[in-house]
Amino acid sequence: MTAQPQINRRGWLATWLQKRRRARRGPVLVAVSPALITWKWSNLNPVRWNVYYSSFDGTNSQLANSVDGSVFQYAPDICSAWTFVIGVDGAGNEITARSNTVRPDDAVNPANVIILGSDGHGHLTWTLNFPTEFGFNIYKSNDGVTWGGEYDGANSETLSRDCSGDRGYFRICQSDWDGFDILPYSNVVYSDGL
């Protein structure tokens, strides 16, 4: 008579549970500033992300908004509320686990940063790590060292400017309602003027 093989039920169950948890992970939410939350997600993007406000204990929550599945940030209306996100499919069914819960007001507000980009021919674009209602002052230099007066301006909704035809170095900064600079300046980019 041969002995029956012994099944390690504990090991099998632990492996099965680990695979199940990995298959249905939630995004990792971070409060970047009191006005912005972002999350990291390494799997296939859902159709939409539902953003919820929650009570501190997590028992009561309400849908605050829904953003496209390729977007990984949200500017909350109520920055003191506990916030979490869940990925959903086209029918609104939850397909990811719930993220961790954060409160945007608890974030340390980082220094404002403007990152300036260029196609090399004068089309400038920039990104911010902060929301603003102010415009921007654009500066040009022939040598990248000596900066003259304001070259041009842009309003708060515009995050690009076509400066083609002008050869030189460019940088920008935020401007207040009276047009004065709000530092810091962005990085410097070069345009060949073509």
User: Looking at residue 89, what is its pLDDT?
Assistant: 92
Q: Which domains does the chain have, with CATH numbers?
A: 25-106 (2.60.40.10), 114-192 (2.60.40)
Q: What tokens appear for 84 in the block?
A: 């979490």
User: Looking at residue 177, what is its pLDDT?
Assistant: 81
User: Looking at residue 57, what is its pLDDT?
Assistant: 63
User: Looking at residue 163, what is its pLDDT?
Assistant: 84
User: Looking at residue 175, what is its pLDDT?
Assistant: 86
* Pairwise CA distance, residues 69 & 90, whole Å: 10
User: Looking at residue 122, what is its pLDDT?
Assistant: 81
The mean pLDDT value for 36-63 works out to 85
Cα of 159 vs its chain's centroid, Å: 15
In DSSP terms, 167 is beta-bridged to 192
The mean pLDDT value for 19-44 works out to 76
- Is residue 189 within 8 Å of 166, Cβ to Cβ? no
Please say if the pLDDT value at position 193 is more than 70: yes
* Pairwise CA distance, residues 130 & 127, whole Å: 9
Check residue 89 and give left, alpha or beta (phi > 0: left; psi -120 to 50: alpha). beta
Number of Cβ atoms within 10 Å of the Cβ of 81: 19
DSSP 25: -
Identify the weakest region by mean pLDDT among 13-22, 41-50, 58-67.
13-22
